[in-house]
Structures are given as C-alpha cells and as structure tokens.
Structure 1
Amino acid sequence: MVLREWARDAHATAQAARAALRHVADDPAALTDEQWVALLGASGAELEQLCELADDTRRMVTGGDDLTFVVNRNLDTTVIASGRAEVATLEELVIEARSLGATEICLQGPLPVDAPDDGYLRLVHTIHAAAPDLHLHAFRPPEVRDAATRMGLGVTEFLRRAHAAGLGSVPGTAAQILDDDVRAHLAGGACPSVADWVSTIETAHQVGLFSTATMLYGHVETPHHQVAHLRMLCEIQRRTGGFSELIVMPMLPANAPPHLREAATARATRRETRAVHAVARLLTQGSFDHIQVAWTKHDPETTEALLAGGADDIGGLLIDGELMPAAGQEAGRVLGVDTLADLAARTGRTPRQRTTGYADPPVERQIPIPQVRR
C-alpha cells in the first residue's frame, strides 16, 4: 500500500492550483480528476481563494447564511445491548432525550455475538414505542448486513421490516474511502467490500430510508482516492437521491487502529482539512446541498474556518443528561446552545434548528437559542 503523499514541490502545486481555480468557478463539473487533486493541494493565497469560492457556492446552494443543527442523542448499540448502561433502561434514555428537546436518536455499533437473532429489530421497536415522534437514525451498513444475516433474511427484507418498525434513516458511516485496497489496509486485512457498502446504502434508499454520506480522510489515502470517493458518492446520489448530507471526517490518532497509530499521529493539517472541505463542496455541487462539519473531531478554530469555507451544517448537539451512558467515540461531547450561538455569531451565520431530514421541526419541538450580537 502506498502511503498518502503530496509529492509536488511548492511552486508546481501553487501553479496547478491557480490553473484549476480559473476553471472551477465557471464549471466545476468540467474539472478533471487531476485538477481536483491540484485544488486539494492548494495553500496560501490559492487556498483562501478556494475556500472563498466554496463559501459562495454554499450560500448559493442553501439560499442564505443559516447554520443548521439537529438536537440529538447518540447511543452506542454495544453499550445498550450489553446491559452496561446500568443507570437507565433504553426506554428511559429515549424518554429523557425527548424531554431535553431531542428530535433524533442516533444508534450505532454492532450487537454482541450472543444477542438475540432479532436483536437489532427489537431495538427499533423499543425506541419507537418509547417515543414515536423521535426520528431513529441507526445501523451502519455493516450492522445492517449483520442484522440480516442473524435473522436469515436478505438485506432488503431486513430494511423493510426495520423501516416499518420505526427506523427513519441509516448512518452512511463505515464508508471510509471507497477503494478496496485502502479499506483492506485500514482494517489490517479482510473488510467489507466497496460493493457491499454501496449495495447496502442503495437498498436502504430503495426501501424508503435516507442516509448520510461520509468520507474519512487523513490516513493512508491519496488525493486521487479522495476525488474518486467523492465522485462515487455523487454517482450514488444521482441514482437514488437518498443522501441527506455529506460529512467529511479526519481520522484522529486516538481512533486509529493499532497498526495505523504511528501514521495517524501525522494527523491531517488544518490546510488539508480546509482544502478537503472546500473541494467537497465544489465537486459535489448539484448532488449534495449540505456539507456537515464533524465538530467533535476539530478544534474550535478549525470548525470556524470550515464554516467559512463551504460547510453549512454543524451536525448534532449530542445532548447529555442525568442518565447518559457512554456513546462510543463521542462520549462526553456536548455542544451547548450558548456555544452554538456564539459560533454562529463569529461566523456571520444564523442558527436554525432542523430535523434529521433538514425540515423545520414543529414549533413545540424547537429549542430556544440565545440571541448574540454579531
């Protein structure tokens, strides 16, 4: 596996980025892979121009300067199903989340091997029964396939049953980079194939569910892999129209598998992170309206820079409460409404609550946001 490499010298990189910038403003769809790669290498004045163009595109696509967010609670399937969330039942966690203003429950992670064969479906029934008006966003493609296998069903039939029971959408995580060689390297060997991930997501869309789309960068991939990944997501979107948003996430050293810890300590720079988000906005224009900042994976200054460089959504507040159990990698991470209001003010945006599907929540389900002077 060839590790990620920015091989051009500074002069050649700047020259290539300037040439690509002359074309991207007029017709992003006409850019070649090499031109997108050149933009991913932009720095200095070229990076600032790229991010400004991406932000202009964000404003044009979304129709304004809103900073959207959803009020949600993340739960880890493994913790919930194993009984380690001893302070509360699943029903209590869901009911409390609703009382705190949540409109979404996000559930990710595999069930233990000794869980009942219909364990995933039971979770859907339990959550929906506890709060029928909450949107359930649950089960990544590997978990969908695990659920179908346990029940002796095809993926389509499991998703139909889950949808009928109350599942609203599917996280498009575990996409990583949609290249089999990269995925195998990340997994240290065998891993779900690109074909499995794509077919599972497209099946979810076909049975009436929508999903997020993601890209994990900053590990062993190259800029060409990043471009190919974004193009594949756009192709899926053209076929199904089932993606609600694109979330671009760096691999953090703390979350890297052991065999990649050393490589991941050379984490993605702020320059690369800004360029990746700006290119994601421009390359996916016409396919994705919403680019989300994974705020739990960036420092506050980088989050602000990304909101000024093409991103329009901050994701979930990840509300906490008295009963909150561990929630995987995002345990203990909460974005308060005061912090959100300050962030919006600093970036010249207006905070606006949304549902998981980017509609306005009912008035009675909207949380008060402090007014902060810009």
Structure 2
Amino acid sequence: MGDVVVAGSGLPDAGLVRKWLDEAADTPAALPDEGYVALLGADGPELDELCRTADLLRHQATGDVLTYAVNRNLDTAAVSGTSAPARARLTALVVEARELGATEICMQGPLPADSDDDYLALIEAIAQAGPIHLHAFRAPELLDGAARHQMTLPDFLAAAREAGLGSVPGTAARILDDEVRARLLGGPDLPVRTWTDVIETAHRAGLFSTSTMVYGHIETPAQQVAHLRLLAEIQDRTGGFHEFIAMPFTPGPVSPGVGSLPGPSWRQTRAVHAVARLLLHGRIANIQAAWPKFGFDAAVDLLRGGANDLGGLLLDGRLAPGSFAEAGLTLSTREVEQAAQALGRTARQRTTGYADV
C-alpha cells in the first residue's frame, strides 16, 4: 500500500485507511503509529466506519450508559480572598451548588500573585462548606502552590489531599510536545517532562485526574498520536486517569511566529475522538464529548463515534453566575435524558470518579 496520500487533500488514500481499519477491528490498541496516523486522516465512508468501530469499543468498555456529572465551575481568582465577606461568598456558592444537586466543584486558574489567600486555605474553605468533591488545580497551579508554601510537590499534594482536594484536572497538557508548546505560546511553556512528573506525582499521592488534549492548531497527526501514547504510558504506570477529553483549539491568533489559526474541522474532531477510543482501549474507559466546546448536538454526534460521557452540567446558580469561564453554558438533566433515549442508552448521573450517585 505505501504511504499513499490523495493529491491536494493532505489525507491518506482510502485504501490505506481501510487497511488499518481492518487491523483495528482485531487489535484496536495495538496498531503502530503509522496506523493511527492514517486513521486520523479518515474521511467519507472510511470515517463513518472508524466511528462505528470506536462505538463498538465504547459499548465493550462502558455498556449502553450515557454518563454525566452535576458540577459547578469556579475560577480561583474570582472566589479567593481571606476576608469574612469573601469567605462567606465562597461558602454560599458551594452550599448553593450542593442544594442544586452538584456533587463536584471544579476550580481552575492560578491565585493572583498579590492574593492574601493560598491554595490550601481555599481547599479547606470549600471542604468545610461541603461535603462535595473538589476537582481543582492544573499542573502549573500545583507547582505554584508548592512553591508558595516552600514545600516539595509530594508534601504539598499530601497536604492538599488532607485539606480536602479530591482530584486534579489533567489540563494544561495542550499537545505534549515541547516544540509545539513553545511555538503556540510564543515562548517557554511548562516542559512536557515537568507536566508528566506533576501528574504522576498527583496520582501517587492518591489524587486521580482527567487526561486531555487540545488539538487542531499547529500539531501534526503524528504528534497527536505521540500525545495519546504518552497518556497511555502514564496510565500504565499509575492508573490515575479516569477519563480522556479532547478539546478543540479555539480559533484566533496565537504567538507572533504562528499567526491566526482556524481550529479543527468537524472531520478532524470525529477522527480524533474515534482514534482516542481505539488507542486508549483497555486503559482509559471513559471518553468525554465536551459539549461546551462543540455544542450539545455535535457532542451527541460524538457519542455515536466512541465517546460515552457528556461531562458536567456546569450549573450557574443564582449567586455569582459569572464566576467561571464557561458561565452561561448549562445543561439540564432533561436534555441529557433525551439524548440518551435517542442514542438507545440509559442516562446515569456519576461522581467525578465515575461511581454511581
């Protein structure tokens, strides 16, 4: 077959894609890199077949259940502060989330450099307002917290878990390739090795996490495969990833050396989710269709192509509804149940760790 590419499209020849589709039917998680790269270029009938293959694996891994969480997102800077009014406001936000049925608070973003607050105190304040699962702080924020407390990262993570931290987001991964990360940012970014070390240290501390990939910018299909491979290797070492979330690059300008990028096509999006299901099969059972990133109808389509989870409802609440980046994007349980019915699945609310609620 060779590395046949259709002239002018940049996509592999349909015959080459079909070859790897046949291989994937028997050994979905054991293809060589070139096989996954070819599948990422699937289009037309071959893309539909790839999605059907991924959907069969989804059925094997998670059954005919459509899971979702009830959560509320908070921005760290927007809810920090040690004054009595600031703490009362944070407590009220957590209490309101619980009253609305949330089982999770997701908090991301760094503390401002001049903040009088600190990460451990914030964790304790949320835990005292609970009980609720706190899913919080990306790798750079965990390093910042350790530095502010003059602690080693393992000691800081142990203290954070003792204070009430339940799990950490696997975001800030972007594409796990140092050259791509530096070009996107227009300067130094958190090195891949450091990101990996932080996530593995969190897992060893008893904090599970999500795993993520931001795709559709300057990266190549081969770099996407390498990213997924690294996530699989981390999972083999720690078992700490509970889900994978593919997030599309938001169109717009990036670093001066890169210029403006349009973001991924819908073809790319379908292929990325399906290939992630294949490559991660047997390692990470849950593939999320991140509905705030794609829109609800598009996310439902991704649930037909390998994904099994819709993520969180993202409750706004009445108190400070604009206190996180995706404010105004909320989903109802009725919408989830209707989607599950259309897919022939059963809707099931889950905890952050995918246990039943």
Match of 1:75 in 2: 74
Match of 2:93 in 1: 93
Match of 1:233 among 231, 234, 239: 231
Residue deviations 1:18-69 (CA, integer Å, cap 9, x gap): 111110111123311111000000001100100000000000011x211000
Alignment of 1:137-176 (within 5 A): 137-176=135-174
User: What is the CA–CA distance in structure 2 between the aligned matches of 1:115 and 1:7, rounded to whole Å?
Assistant: 54
Cα distance, 1:247 vs. partner? 0.6
After alignment, is 180-189 or 324-333 more displaced? 324-333
For normalisation by structure 1, the TM-score amounts to 0.89
Alignment of 1:95-134 (within 5 A): 95-116=95-116, 119-131=118-130, 133-134=131-132
Segments of structure 1 that go 5 or more residues without pairing to the other structure are 1-5, 362-374
Match of 1:295 in 2: 291
Answer whether contact 2:316 2:322 (CA < 8 A) is retained. no
Match of 1:367 in 2: none
Match of 1:49 in 2: 49
**Per the alignment, in what secondary structure is the counterpart of residue 13 of structure 2?**
helix
Match of 2:24 in 1: 24
Answer whether contact 2:349 2:356 (CA < 8 A) is retained. yes
Match of 1:305 among 301, 314, 319: 301
Match of 1:370 in 2: none
Match of 1:365 in 2: none
Answer whether contact 1:82 1:112 (CA < 8 A) is retained. no
Match of 2:316 in 1: 320
User: What is the CA–CA distance in structure 1 between the aligned matches of 2:292 and 2:107, rounded to whole Å?
Assistant: 17
User: What is the CA–CA distance in structure 1 between the aligned matches of 2:266 and 2:336, rounded to whole Å?
Assistant: 21
User: What is the CA–CA distance in structure 1 between the aligned matches of 2:258 and 2:312, rounded to whole Å?
Assistant: 28
**Per the alignment, in what secondary structure is the counterpart of residue 176 of structure 1?**
coil
Alignment of 1:270 onto 2:266? yes
Residue deviations 1:148-175 (CA, integer Å, cap 9, x gap): 0111111111100000010000000000
User: What is the CA–CA distance in structure 1 between the aligned matches of 2:318 and 2:302, rounded to whole Å?
Assistant: 32
After alignment, is 24-33 or 66-75 more displaced? 24-33
Give the letter for the 2:263 counterpart.
R
User: What is the CA–CA distance in structure 2 between the aligned matches of 1:282 and 1:299, rounded to whole Å?
Assistant: 24
Give the letter for the 1:312 counterpart.
N
Task: Call closer, same or farther: CA 1:220–1:327 in 2, change over 3 Å.
Answer: farther
Match of 1:372 in 2: none
User: What is the CA–CA distance in structure 2 between the aligned matches of 1:261 and 1:69, rounded to whole Å?
Assistant: 37
Task: Call closer, same or farther: CA 1:91–1:7 in 2, change over 3 Å.
Answer: farther
Aligned residues between the structures? 351
Residue deviations 1:289-341 (CA, integer Å, cap 9, x gap): 00001110103332122000000000000112110343443121101122222
Task: Call closer, same or farther: CA 1:263–1:32 in 2, change over 3 Å.
Answer: farther
Cα distance, 1:82 vs. partner? 6.0
For normalisation by structure 2, the TM-score amounts to 0.93
**Per the alignment, in what secondary structure is the counterpart of residue 260 of structure 2?**
helix
Answer whether contact 2:54 2:305 (CA < 8 A) is retained. yes
RMSD: 2.2
Answer whether contact 2:12 2:41 (CA < 8 A) is retained. no
Give the letter for the 1:137 counterpart.
H
Residue deviations 1:339-370 (CA, integer Å, cap 9, x gap): 22222222222110000000012xxxxxxxxx
User: What is the CA–CA distance in structure 1 between the aligned matches of 2:87 and 2:125, rounded to whole Å?
Assistant: 17
User: What is the CA–CA distance in structure 2 between the aligned matches of 1:267 and 1:87, rounded to whole Å?
Assistant: 39
Match of 2:64 in 1: 65
Match of 1:200 in 2: 198
